[in-house]
Structure 1
């Protein structure tokens, strides 16, 4: 057998390929976590609190246990004990997952019991009949009314506060100053597949079949929670119907494992859509203050970006909205701060481009305001403020092609023909405007392992504990392995989504494919070299393992990011206040593009989410009950087909010779800056700035026109 590429063999990476599992998904052959059959399967139904703060005084389990099919009711009085003091994979323990360990209720929708029955219908009926008594206490969910004295600075995945220079002095010396507050609302992931998990014990080993973004992560946390040896927990997650940051360790996995422990039989727990609004995490609302001071030429002398978000009283999570300013623009005085306030609400979590999505809306809107006041083109202002190194880190950029993205985008969008004056272009009842914004997202890497086996039949098997949450990662890894092995994708089989496959990073932070590909490439390259020696392949195959733990550390001496330029054209109905996006264009620099078909899909999807963020998405929390009003996909508005116009995404060549893998994630950068580009286009159409998202028709109608 030979694996050497012939002159006629085309490389797989860089050419469009349909998903290797695509046929299974569209025909229904692909099974998701909530539909995989198990012998003797029981069904659990979560019962959630009816009060936003208080204590459980009693639970009337007797009548429910007499109902048909009911097997047990788990609650804080009888559930197995968990270890809640561990240090998890991502730091301090998230006590949101410590179910049924105490009688406290920290927010509306907190799990207070799990009813387990023979069928899902029986479990639901019994759960709805369960009566729980509470000692109710006053609660506070009012983020808009939270005072600065209640907030505190905190380190998220970035420093809470980063500062240099004399901010007051540089603002005072500036020729032009923008000082404005921007707000974004609570937003929810709204993926198609709800959270689902089945747990059972097999020979002393806890087996979990789940829908998650990283089986290693889930297995590690469950092992700590249940005080088990890591090898005693096995998690599988073959197909995931969307995650966007929410599918980590959640209540459903822990509840299923508790019930399986108590009953010693398989138990499945699936969240309802309404439960997901309180148990699956969400993007925190933000209140952001931007102060920009510039000299007469447009060069920044002062930049301040302060972002306030909320967290629960159970676990601390920070929406690091001030993060983009630490990458995008420098100034003599540069101050950024992420602060948080605790309220009686569910714990927020990662959501597509956490920090960057809301932070870029504020920063890029403020930059547009500064360009207006200076009488400069928004792109020209950004060109004048291109930093030579990381504004906070001081590290050199591995590559930074932001201006090239703007140049290509401006050419394709027709930016040069734009009259910069607002409110002048009209088509019937519609005012027309265009806007632009910059985008960036970190290009990180995390340690991962992979094995590649040359099979006796001439095929190859790649084993890497990746997660494909709809991004096309399984297909991308197939192409990467094929090229490294110098063979065709048809001869490569990739196995993912199984914690027994070894350590690998989660599908998150746009680091998944980059991290997994590095490990796969290393193993495949070494295997190809061994095969070239002509030693032959034994019947059981020849396997090589790769571990990138040592190599990853070498990439920390430079700032590594993807960049992009977003463009949007909108039409605003002056009579109804309706805003319609007519076209969007995004040009990105995102390293080596593995599969143009799925990469473009991810970028366009992110841009559409940015449209949804700008015009539709807003979870309203009721102060009286503490819950989300309309906690379903009818009450929570997202962009649908009728809202989505022509959306184009493309990229420029971006090769970093010092990067051993060259791949950067594209799952998140598409949303960054998209909402700001639309908001800036609405200003150009109407002459009115909108600093609060979403830009609803009522806000457009109530907005005061600019003074002459």
Structure 2
């Protein structure tokens, strides 16, 4: 049995056995009777109109039930809606099969529904489309003159515009004794989680649907379907207990959900639509960005001026924005600042948040700029950051709820052996390899969203918790069970966390490294309420030992209510339930951030990454031989799952720095490597010695648990640390990610 306390213990995933044995079912795996299969057809042009469609050959194929296009799609309730889901950016939401207009290459333009997947896929290849093509723009760099400020909308609350300028940047920069300037570009990335997008829709009759969906938010998908198809909210149930990775791609409902529901309602049948790997490249992605930075310092190394201008990509129909340029002023107290952020509308799908959106791109530029400034000053890059360390948030003047970044710097530097670095670029070698050391800072927001949890104490004295959240592979089920175990005083095996179901109490989508803080806080709140009810019932029992005893003199421990002064005087939950003769005791509670208290503070997680690279002298090939990341994220609920999260982020940092990019042919307006053979990601041979440190950071303000998320903070510093290590090894500044060996030849 797992011993209490549970929080802080490296508990293995409670659902791990289900996943490794294959008994965990994903959205496209549910055994549903009389199931039809849908296959989506995508446009082969980038912009224009469909002028003719020939479906005769496809319809003649045995087993084909229906073919849906803009010409015969069912009428739906959504075409006047601006927002169809909780994560929609400002603009006009994309409507599949709405009309004959093509907005981007790969746009879904038809759905074939057949008795089996293979027939549907083959029939899709037989449909002939004729187009009238129009001129399009898909390249960011050639169209910078078309940049505009992002439109304001609901998303602005989570993604505020850059802070206003301070001081006089131009004057301070021009008069500074030490200054640096550079441009940084980032390639497009696509999410590519292991599980592809699928929706299995069970038609229950009378407009009622049960949907097994790949999503990061069951309630968001439920809202989407109800809004789009004019259904009653309670008649749509979305289930998603297991998700094979999301990384942000599941924050918004993807088009297979629309297609599957449309077909199911029209045919009054059960329908499954699964996207193939190439189709995973036909919706959102991390946008290409261009950033121009200018930093200046005095002779002692105090940063005096910072300018960060960024331009990102958005679609022609929505304004997707990121927090790209604001991070440096949350770290470094320069008195003269200027931050600007614009978008260029392109004929591409709207980008979607991808793990650490904006943060990983922005911090790469910022931390490479700090590294270059350190070399100009002839100062150790770590010392430059310590010199400009601020206990408060320089952008607001507010103190952080907690900030153990300095501890991250010092502990990671010691573990890594930073003091062994020869500062001269190209001076360290190992055989035929140039060796480089690099470091960088990471920062990410500490989000918390409202959440509601229902708690039930059963007649067996066990606890069941209900919440609609998903678990996208982060260990959510495990850490929520740990939080509840400590709060009520039960073993893990006596608690069930029932989740991944839109019928359960409210949860936002799982994103922004926020779910542990959000749902975890709600669990604490509801269990406190439940304990009050249990104690009230226990006091009402004839001869109760707790009558007249103050609440603060009673503890909940080992599945029982007991006196603090004499734990032998106890009454088990099971005995309480037997004596009161009730089947269960229930409580429901909503929790959210304490906005009034937190308005006087800044909230952030912090990290520091130290990296060693080897660069082959003749070939220019780059290997990240080892890396250490230290993270300050408040209280760590489960060091094992948290470490896994940070390791995964570090690997993605290596991928972003050295491997990952989607190649866009601007003449065709098309991504050319829409497969995992040519879209390069790291394999085992690319990953070597990685280590994670959690700083001892106590935060009594951020929330009742003192926790911050760790899903993204491990990624933010890695690309810059790698780029800085490559400079140290070779003396070459490569400011375009990913860095391929040909740039070093």
1:135 equivalent to 2:132? Answer yes
Distance 1:483 1:553 in 2: 28
* Structure 2 partner of 1:285: 288
Distance 1:604 1:501 in 2: 32
* Structure 1 partner of 2:356: 353
- Does the 8 Å CA contact 1:216/1:502 hold for their aligned counterparts? no
- Find the partner of 1:257 among 261, 286, 290: 261
- Find the partner of 1:266 among 267, 270, 277: 270
Report the structure number with the largest CA radius of gyration: 2
Distance 1:391 1:355 in 2: 20
Residue-by-residue CA offset, 1:581-624 (whole Å, 9 max, x unaligned): 11000011011111111100000110010011111111110122
Secondary structure of 2:441's counterpart equals strand
- Find the partner of 2:740 among 680, 696, 699: 696
* Structure 1 partner of 2:560: none
Secondary structure of 1:161's counterpart equals coil
Distance 1:93 1:58 in 2: 32
Distance 1:387 1:335 in 2: 19
Secondary structure of 2:306's counterpart equals strand
Displacement after TM superposition at 1:544 (Å): 0.8
Secondary structure of 1:529's counterpart equals helix
* Structure 1 partner of 2:497: 494
* Structure 1 partner of 2:723: 679
Evaluate the alpha carbon distance shift between residue 439 and residue 28 of structure 1 in structure 2; reply closer, same or farther with a 3 A threshold.
same
Which runs of 5 or more residues in structure 2 are unaligned? 541-575
Distance 2:686 2:708 in 1: 29
Distance 2:475 2:588 in 1: 23
- Find the partner of 2:147 among 146, 150, 168: 150
* Structure 1 partner of 2:424: 421
Distance 1:151 1:145 in 2: 15
* Structure 2 partner of 1:368: 371
1:30 equivalent to 2:30? Answer no
Q: How many equivalent pairs are there?
A: 694
Distance 2:70 2:391 in 1: 56
Displacement after TM superposition at 1:120 (Å): 0.4
Displacement after TM superposition at 1:86 (Å): 4.0
Secondary structure of 1:146's counterpart equals helix
- Does the 8 Å CA contact 2:654/2:722 hold for their aligned counterparts? yes
- Superposed CA RMSD in Å reads 1.7
* Structure 1 partner of 2:591: 548
- Find the partner of 2:607 among 564, 568, 572: 564
- Does the 8 Å CA contact 2:404/2:696 hold for their aligned counterparts? no
- Does the 8 Å CA contact 1:33/1:210 hold for their aligned counterparts? yes
- Does the 8 Å CA contact 2:219/2:506 hold for their aligned counterparts? yes
Residue-by-residue CA offset, 1:156-208 (whole Å, 9 max, x unaligned): 54333322221111112211111100111001112100011012332432321
- Does the 8 Å CA contact 1:432/1:569 hold for their aligned counterparts? yes
* Structure 2 partner of 1:618: 661
- Does the 8 Å CA contact 1:154/1:338 hold for their aligned counterparts? no
* Structure 2 partner of 1:706: none
* Structure 2 partner of 1:661: 705
- Find the partner of 1:527 among 526, 530, 534: 530
Give TM-score, length-normalised by structure 1: 0.95
Secondary structure of 1:586's counterpart equals strand
Distance 1:227 1:94 in 2: 21
Give TM-score, length-normalised by structure 2: 0.91
- Find the partner of 1:608 among 642, 651, 669: 651
- Does the 8 Å CA contact 1:604/1:649 hold for their aligned counterparts? yes
Secondary structure of 1:399's counterpart equals coil
- Does the 8 Å CA contact 2:314/2:345 hold for their aligned counterparts? yes
Distance 1:444 1:316 in 2: 22
Displacement after TM superposition at 1:513 (Å): 1.2
Evaluate the alpha carbon distance shift between residue 187 and residue 81 of structure 1 in structure 2; reply closer, same or farther with a 3 A threshold.
same
* Structure 1 segment 442-481 matched on structure 2, within 5 A: 442-481=445-484
* Structure 1 partner of 2:486: 483
* Structure 2 partner of 1:58: 52
- Does the 8 Å CA contact 1:54/1:104 hold for their aligned counterparts? yes
- Find the partner of 1:10 among 4, 20, 37: 4
Which runs of 5 or more residues in structure 1 are unaligned? 702-708
